[in-house]
Amino acid sequence: MEEKFNMPLLGDKFPELKVNTTHGPKILPKDYEGKWFVLFSHPGDFTPVCTTEFYSFQKRYEQFKAMNVELIGMSIDQVHSHIKWVEWIEDNLGVKIEFPIIAATEQIALKLGMLHPGKGTNTVRAVFVVDPKGKTRLVLYYPQEIGRNMGEIVRAVKALKVADENGVAIPADWPNNDLIKDRVILPTASNMKDAEARKGKEGCYDWWFCHKELK
């Protein structure tokens, strides 16, 4: 019987992966306990779109580090291919890739749902954001032909951290929301007394939609 794999769903414990990387062997998520990490796959080394992505991820590396977030790349290429590609990027584009790149096996790619039969045999552009407890908090998929928006990945991680630390929800396009700007959304009232107290209150459109300034 053919073995089937499902990608980790939001809130799931990220599956344990024993991997080889450009920085040596690692175990995920164990080796990153206590930190957020962004694991992103790319279709292949020495390809144009992937090269632009790695260049852009590295340009934001210090932003991620400042948020206690680690970056991890991945594709079904061997470690020596990753090393040569990283050397090429530094030699030709002047950027040193500082984060590890996993040499994934087909089994790992299947376990993470990164192989989509309708898109060929290369991994699609997947992004997994995992929190310090090893839980999957965000999953994104892009096709091979479209590069990712790095600013959105930075924004999403920042928003997840703000939501966790403040017990709030985050509006669309935060911190530049068209309606409430950089404010955050309070949890909906859970009983009639709290709902009644919110009516007409400053910062509330209604009892179910209240917002506040993030301090």
Q: What is the pLDDT of residues 135-183, one digit of tens each?
A: 999 999 888 889 999 999 999 999 999 999 999 999 999 999 999 999 9
For CA atoms 73, 79, 83, 89, give the dihedral sign.
negative
Q: Is 185 helix (H, G, I), strand (E, B) or coil?
A: strand
Which among 50, 76, 108, 157 is annotated as catalytic? 50
Positions of CATH 3.30.1020.10 in the chain: 167-215
167-215 adopts what CATH topology?
Antioxidant, Horf6; Chain A, domain 2 (3.30.1020)
Give the confidence band of 1 by pLDDT, cuts at 50, 70, 90. Answer: very low
pLDDT given at position 144: 81
Q: What is the CATH architecture assignment of 17-148? A: 3-Layer(aba) Sandwich (3.40)
Phi and psi torsions of 172, nearest 5° = -60, 140
Output the pTM of the full model.
0.90
Positions of CATH 3.40.30.10 in the chain: 17-148
Average of per-residue pLDDT across 39-67: 95
Give the confidence band of 112 by pLDDT, cuts at 50, 70, 90. Answer: confident
Q: Is position 50 annotated as part of the catalytic site? A: yes
| Tokens at 133, concatenated | 């407890």
Measured CA to CA, the distance from residue 33 to residue 35 in angstroms comes to 6
- Pick the residue with more confidence: 85 or 120? 85
pLDDT of 215 higher than 90 = no
